[in-house]
Amino acid sequence: MKYKFTHKEQLNTAIWSGGTTTQLAIYPEDAQYDKHNFLWRISTATIETEESTFTRLPGINRIIMVLDGNMLLRHEGHDKLYMEPFRQKEFKGNWLTKSFGQATDFNVMMQESCKAYVEVITIDPQVSLETMVFSLSDKNNYNNIVEAFYFIIPANISLTCYNELINARYGDILMLQKERNENDLTAIKFFNPLATHSHIIRSCIYFND
């Protein structure tokens, strides 16, 4: 079992045709997005133009969740979906996809041999929450599992992981990885000290290395 906590300032942000994108994690770690040699990738992106065309990625499945703003996601020859905060959509990377509207989104890209889930964890004001990990779905067919916890606005979360206290802020990310022969980590404990609800984007990726 291993984990990695990364602050927002340590992440790389790049420009794409529709806005900016921040890479949160990629596997293998030396893979490069522009070479499409990754097994999976987690990122966020801003869509700053009213109409954007997504890069086509054959052999890749994608999950997108809107974090802020609204957009219409349209796949030529398939379907379309109006997306508002925390609504998500899974689709094939080789589809001709366009978006309409300005938004910030959370993205998971993965080879077709992988499986992924994305969900929102909501923590009530001034409440502690214990979250079970590596438990979202059947994992028997995969050698490796990665769980990512991405902290969005408003974020001022204290969490306990492996008996270590970590203070998470907006844009930070916690990554956990488990191989099949390792014992399960039972839970992570979060505490929200704010007077408003806090949200964490959780993604789980199953893959064979």
Q: Do residue 151 and residue 164 come from a single domain?
A: yes
pTM of the shown model: 0.94
CA 141 distance to own-chain centroid:
22
The pLDDT score that the predictor gives to residue 135 is 72
Q: Do residue 19 and residue 73 come from a single domain?
A: yes
Q: How many domains in the chain?
A: 2
Answer with the one of 78, 111, 144 that is the final residue of a domain: 111
Q: Do residue 24 and residue 62 come from a single domain?
A: yes
The pLDDT score that the predictor gives to residue 1 is 57
Query: Is the CB of residue 101 less than 8 Å from the CB of residue 51?
Result: no
The whole-number average pLDDT for the span 55-62 is: 95
Q: 159 is written with which tokens?
A: 């969490």
CA distances from 52 to 46, 72, 87 (A): 11, 10, 19
**Sheet with strand 51-53: strands edge to edge:** 51-53, 97-100, 71-75, 80-83
Is the pLDDT reported for residue 57 higher than 80?
Answer: yes
Answer with the one of 111, 145, 176 that is the final residue of a domain: 111
Mind giving me the DSSP string for 16-79?
ETTEEEEEEEEESTT--GGGT--SEEEEEEEE-SSEEEPPP-TTEEEEEEEEEE-EEEEETTS-
pLDDT single digits (tens) 102-155:
999 999 999 999 999 999 999 999 999 999 888 765 666 888 899 999 999 887
Q: Do residue 65 and residue 90 come from a single domain?
A: yes
Quickly state the pLDDT bin for 181 (edges 50, 70, 90). Answer: low
Bond from prior residue into 28 cis (ω within 30 degrees of 0)? yes
The candidate with the shortest Cα–Cα distance to 114, out of 28, 206, 203, is: 206
Bond from prior residue into 125 cis (ω within 30 degrees of 0)? no
Percent with pLDDT over 90 in the chain: 78
Q: Do residue 175 and residue 121 come from a single domain?
A: yes
In a domain, 100, yes or no: yes
The amino acid present at 69, given as its one-letter code, is G
Residue pointed to by tokens 């801003």: 46
Mention every residue, 6+ apart, whose C-beta is less than 8 A from residue 39: 27, 28, 31, 110, 111, 114, 207, 209
Q: How far apart are CA 102 and CA 54, in angstroms?
A: 14
Identify the domain containing residue 99 by its residue range.
11-111
Instruction: Give SS3 for 8.
Output: helix
Instruction: Give SS3 for 174.
Output: strand
